[in-house]
Amino acid sequence: MNIVEQVLAGSKRALARAITAVENEYDEAVEIMQQLYPHTGRAHVIGITGPPGAGKSTLTDKLTKEYRRQGKTVGIIAVDPTSPFSGGAILGDRIRMNELTLDEGVFIRSMGTRGSLGGLSRKTAEAVKIMDAAGKDIVFIETVGVGQSEVDVIKAADTTIVVLVPGLGDDIQAIKAGILEIADIFAINKADREGVERLNTEIEMMLELNQTRVDWRPPVKRTVASLGEGITELLVAVEEHISYLQKSDQLSMRRTKRTQNELMALLDEQIGRYILKNITSSGEFTAVVAAVERRERDPYSVVANLLRQVLR
């Protein structure tokens, strides 16, 4: 059996090898993705995002165990900060999910951001597809701890859970720019802390002001993930959102948008590579850079000329 057949058969080792091939852009990576693509589109993808220290890993761990009790298989992509030395993921998340690694129905992969902004790795979408093709019913994407602008998870997930914690000092800041728009469900974790009522009220107030969501108002659920409290209620909210997506046709609309984004990203990548290989490495480009530096040429007309060359 080749690697694609092994992935389709659910082999954990083949899954790991396929994701490594894609992440490191090995020669066989494109062929693997081409053969796996027809077998994708069945898994429900759940994004879990929020500020550092919100308890995203513990929440993912507890939700996964709940899904496993239902007999569903789960894939987890834990996006970690990148080591400045090796370029690999700093494996904080996987350590906190140690118990799950012994479960045959769960596959966990840590991925480094590798300089990518937005809280995700550039290869997250491909890793999701590989897990999907391997037959995972649910795929979790747990982002690196994010701020206000790092909201790329909405491009990869069907359902996005934004995890917030009371008493961080800038609760309302975390809710404002960007994050309010991407949340399908809010989870106030560590809800046994002081300030939970205030944070809950602030989220509800912001939802009142946000008129962009007509059919689905993101529910606010309270959890204490470390004690397993509120997990069942959060899972019910996820299932209700899945049902809403299917009945309202939002699921197919979101996935169409995601396909558009993926095609644009692939085009950007391929064009960028072509330019690097055929244009920027030439002596002519070096001369153009020098001319722009001396203000003999302007960068806008230079780029227009380069684009004409590429398109020709």
The 3-state DSSP class for residue 154 equals helix
Q: What is the pLDDT of residue 274?
A: 83
Domains and CATH numbers, the chain: 42-248 (3.40.50.300), 261-311 (no CATH)
Q: What is the DSSP string of 243-307?
A: HHHHHHTHHHHHHHHHHHHHHHHHHHHHHHHHHIIIIITSHHHHHHHHHHHTTSS-HHHHHHHHH
From CA 84, how far away is CA 210, in angstroms rounded? 39
Q: What is the pLDDT of residue 89?
A: 45
Tokens standing for 30?
A: 């494109």
Beta bridge pairs of residue 82: 89
Q: What is the pLDDT of residue 151?
A: 67
pLDDT, block means (10 residues), the chain with 312 residues: 93 94 90 95 93 88 95 92 48 60 88 54 86 96 67 85 81 58 91 91 83 82 95 97 93 91 86 81 83 93 86 78
Q: What is the pLDDT of residue 121?
A: 61
Entry pTM: 0.86
Tokens standing for 252?
A: 């197919």
